[in-house]
Amino acid sequence: MITGSLKRLTRSLSSFLIGMWNVEGAHAGTQFDKIYLGGGGAYYFEEVVCQALQGCQIVTVPDPEHASICGYAELAASLDEDRWEEGY
């Protein structure tokens, strides 16, 4: 059941990536040198992203399942103290 769901999702993801980052006369994604892949889905979708975007280097970040929360923590830590007081 899960395998079937992942296959359906990967087909949709592949179509989306190719359609979104299509470059006429070249592989999709060639406008990028590198694309960094993060998030919990990186483990499941790294292969399909690499196949869909053959024109660029796909880099899966270390511990991709923690990438989002680490990014938000870094963003929060970088905010000025005034921003915290304003409720942002």
Q: What is the pLDDT of residue 83?
A: 65
What is the number of structural domains in the chain? Answer: 1
**Cβ proximity of 38 and 73 under 8 Å:** no
Q: What is the pLDDT of residue 88?
A: 54
- Of residues 85 and 51, the one with the higher pLDDT is 51
Q: What is the pLDDT of residue 87?
A: 62
Domain hosting 28: range is 2-85
Question: How distant, in Å, are the alpha carbons of 66, 74, 75, 81, 84 from that of 78?
Answer: 18, 6, 5, 9, 11
Q: What is the pLDDT of residue 86?
A: 66
pLDDT category of residue 84 using cuts at 50, 70 and 90: low
